[in-house]
Amino acid sequence: MRIVLSIGGSILVPEEVDVGYIGELASFLVDLSSGNEIAVVSGGGRLARKYIDAARVFNSSEALCDLIGIDASRLNARLLSAAIGDTATIEPPSVFQKAREELERGKIMVMGGTHPGHSTDGVSALLAEYVGADLLINATDVDGIFDKNPREYADARLIEEITPEGLMDIIKKYSVDAGSYALIDPLAVKIIQRSAIKTIFLNGRDFKNMEKAISGKKYRGTRVKK
Ligand code: UTP
CA neighbours closer than 13 Å in the CB half-sphere of residue 132: 1
User: What would the pLDDT profile of 200-215 be if each residue is shown by its tens digit?
Assistant: 999 999 999 999 999 9
User: What would the pLDDT profile of 31-46 be if each residue is shown by its tens digit?
Assistant: 999 999 999 999 999 9
pTM recorded for the entire structure: 0.96
Q: How far apart are CA 114 and CA 117, in angstroms?
A: 10
pLDDT at 178: 84
| Pocket of ligand 1, beta carbon within 6 A | 8-10, 43-45, 48, 65-66, 69-70, 73, 113-120, 123, 178-181
118 with 192: CB under 8 angstroms?
A: no
Closest by CA position to 40, among listed 71, 81, 1: 81
Could you list the pLDDT tens digit for every one of the 226 residues in the chain?
A: 999 999 999 899 998 999 999 999 999 999 999 999 999 999 999 999 999 999 999 999 999 999 999 999 999 999 999 999 999 999 999 999 999 999 999 999 999 999 999 999 999 999 999 999 999 999 999 999 998 888 889 999 999 999 999 999 988 877 778 887 778 899 999 999 999 999 999 999 999 999 999 999 999 999 999 8
Distance 35 CA to ligand 1 centre (A): 30
Distance 179 CA to ligand 1 centre (A): 5
Handedness of CA 24, 30, 31, 37 (dihedral sign): positive
Distance 13 CA to ligand 1 centre (A): 13
pLDDT at 152: 87
Q: How far apart are CA 10 and CA 203, in angstroms?
A: 11
Distance 59 CA to ligand 1 centre (A): 19
Which atom number of ligand 1 is nearest to the Cα of residue 9? 13
Which of 51, 94, 120, 201 to mutate to test ligand 1, by most ligand atoms within 8 A of the CB atom? 120
Q: How far apart are CA 67 and CA 113, in angstroms?
A: 9
Q: Which domains does the chain show, CATH number per domain?
A: 2-224 (3.40.1160.10)
Distance 174 CA to ligand 1 centre (A): 14
